[in-house]
């Protein structure tokens, strides 16, 4: 099975991905963590060098991971929006969008030091949603176990 979870920052991609991978007996990779491991720096540190540079690192790490046959992948919030990335994800496997309203996202990420979280976040979310919605939409609100069960239902349908 090949599963990619997409959605905005704070949507629960990492937590959900871990739970789904555990239930399915598959490896799990968080793309942001993979980038940090490769670069030896945190995502905020990498963003300090400029978003375009970060997106190049992200795209390279993503394409490397898409060579795997069995994987549950949690992408970064902007990863699917890099030109060609969502197409690559959709060709590789099942893409699930964890749909979470802005007010819930705001509660989840307050104080986490997310590089792109600002007053303009509503516009950024609106810009990204059409890309995310190319995947199968799953309600991302609720206990992580419930959200993971929703994702597994989509995979089994």
Range with lowest mean pLDDT among 19-28, 41-50, 89-98, 127-136: 41-50
Q: Note down the domain range covering 102.
A: 2-156
What pLDDT, in 10s, does the model give residues 41-78?
Answer: 999 899 889 989 999 999 999 999 999 999 999 999 99
**Residues 74 and 30: beta-carbon distance below 8 Å:** yes
**Number of independent structural domains in the chain:** 1
Which CATH number fits the domain that encloses residue 101? 3.40.50.300
CA within 13 Å, CB half, 85: 27
As a whole-number percent, the residues of the chain with pLDDT over 70 amount to: 94
Distance CA 7, CA 140 (A): 9
Q: How far are the Cα atoms of 30, 123, 127 from residue 120, in angstroms, in the given order?
A: 25, 6, 11
């Amino acid at each position: 099975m090949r599963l990619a979870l997409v959605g905005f920052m704070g949507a629960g991609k990492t937590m959900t991905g871990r739970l789904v991978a555990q239930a399915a007996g598959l490896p799990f990779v968080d793309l942001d963590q993979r980038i940090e491991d490769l670069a030896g720096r945190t995502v905020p540190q990498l963003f300090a060098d400029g978003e375009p540079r970060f997106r190049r690192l992200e795209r390279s790490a993503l394409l490397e991971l898409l060579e795997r046959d069995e994987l549950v992948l949690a992408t970064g919030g902007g990863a699917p929006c890099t030109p060609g990335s969502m197409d690559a994800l959709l060709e590789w496997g099942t893409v699930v969008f964890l749909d979470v309203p802005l007010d819930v996202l705001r509660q989840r990420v307050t104080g986490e030091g997310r590089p792109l979280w600002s007053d303009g976040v509503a516009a950024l979310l609106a810009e990204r949603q059409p890309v995310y919605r190319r995947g199968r939409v799953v309600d991302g609100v609720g206990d992580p176990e419930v959200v993971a069960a929703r994702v597994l239902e989509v995979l089994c349908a």
